[in-house]
Structure 1
């Protein structure tokens, strides 16, 4: 039977789960929600995670709360799809992550003691991966991660098994080497490959410097947007029609003002 109105179970999470069950109910549910599956919802899940990050960067607690709700809905949506297909339930998801956190924090939830919590965390994760069968050091780094972030994670994994430069000089020199190879590329496909190698080298250099490449580029994008908007304001609203020299003068003036 279709629901007569909003559902009001005892707890907020029960209410949300009931709302999603009704949205996916073939009897009176939402046609769009019923048509979705894991793959069609995945892009929204990624988008909502980024919107949470944007809200956090904006420092607005109300916006953070709102965006976290949207992200939680994605988890509930995926869990309901799974429940409809007889795969697992939201309770299974919650129990699994609770068990994982307890397992990975034996110094909190068990009797273990350690002076290096991060090393303990990594050792436990390595044991978990080993329990699933032999795997390479780079296995399990999600393909859907942003390319810079994935490059940093891949390089970090490689470094754990000793495949790493001993200092920052090696990756810095590698950038110069890759720049020369980009310049020497003979066609579009070759340039595509060499620019990729160059970006990988820059990420590696950032990692050796202790810089989060993804975060650094995100901040650089914001800075560029801010400066470009200030340039447009100085130029009366648009840079269209200005010479490159005039645009550069505006750019330098904005930089100086900061």
Structure 2
């Protein structure tokens, strides 16, 4: 005899509602891109939408910093739209669909979590993580060179943080000593002499990189730290100016 399981039924209903909502979004996007749809939406290309993806990402980050669930929900929707928009364009070109996107990430999650979806031990997770990613890059015909894994289009702080993690491990105290030493080297370059400008740029870059390396070593995100501090300073400036 089958036993009714309320929690299982609730989960099924929630999954069905999510599926219906996504299908509705896909249908709306398809209509907007159709001859009967919106002229602006039809004109867009993957390239023209890049700036919108970046804008929506930063707006989502700000919403998360604000900690407002409703705002986060709205911004997640804006970012989801960009995913659906891109998938619709490529679907029209018979390249791939949103289903292919979902299938691709599902397979990746399973592949990258063998300790959950296979018999691999949890202790092997960190050891296997980089190896799995190397295998994925090889399957796509990509090099394991750092320059390809960290393209120049990435935000500088994020790129520096990733690069720093590949360097020989230094303790936080060692990095602080290194930063202090580099700051002392900057002072002679502050004369304003044009000949010293390149030296100053190089020393400042070293300090910036060392700071990023320090934040990464202690488990912090330099991009996140700087964004939050800048937001705080802007609010303080506006408050002082009664704006």
* Band of TM-score, shorter chain: 0.7 to 0.9
Runs of 4 or more consecutive aligned structure 1 residues displaced over 6 Å after TM superposition: none
**Alignment of 1:227 onto 2:236:** yes
TM-score (norm 1): 0.74
**Alignment of 1:183 onto 2:190:** yes
**Range with bigger deviation, 208-217 or 105-114:** 208-217
**Of 75, 79, 86, which residue of structure 1 is paired with 2:83?**
75
Structure 2 gap segments, 5+ residues each: 1-18
1:181 and 1:39 mapped to 2: Cα distance? 45
Question: After the TM superposition, which residues 162-181 of structure 1 pair with which residues of structure 2 at under 5 Å, given as runs?
Answer: 162=168, 164-165=169-170, 167-169=174-176, 171-173=178-180, 175-176=182-183, 179-180=186-187
- Tell me the equivalent position of 1:118: 126
Question: After the TM superposition, which residues 1-258 of structure 1 pair with which residues of structure 2 at under 5 Å, given as runs?
Answer: 11-25=20-34, 27-115=35-123, 117-131=125-139, 132-156=141-165, 158-159=166-167, 162=168, 164-165=169-170, 167-169=174-176, 171-173=178-180, 175-176=182-183, 179-180=186-187, 182-183=189-190, 186=194, 190=198, 192=201, 194-233=203-242
CA 1:73/1:173 → structure 2, altered by over 3 Å: closer, same or farther?
same
Query: CA shift at 1:39, angstroms?
Result: 0.9
Query: CA shift at 1:231, angstroms?
Result: 2.7
1:102 and 1:188 mapped to 2: Cα distance? 53
Do the aligned partners of 1:168 and 1:208 also contact (CA within 8 Å) in 2? no
Structural RMSD (CA): 2.7
CA 1:120/1:30 → structure 2, altered by over 3 Å: closer, same or farther?
same
TM-score (norm 2): 0.78
CA 1:53/1:169 → structure 2, altered by over 3 Å: closer, same or farther?
closer
Deviation per residue, 1:103-155 (Å, 9 max, x gap): 00111112211225334323311232244354313422243332212211122
Query: CA shift at 1:209, angstroms?
Result: 4.0
How many positions carry a matched residue from both structures? 220
- Tell me the equivalent position of 1:4: none
Structure with the larger RCO, 1 or 2 (CA within 8 Å, 6+ apart): 2
1:130 and 1:231 mapped to 2: Cα distance? 55
Counting helix residues as a fraction of each chain, which structure ranks higher?
A: 2
Deviation per residue, 1:45-98 (Å, 9 max, x gap): 111111111111112111111111111110000011111122211111110000
1:46 and 1:24 mapped to 2: Cα distance? 22
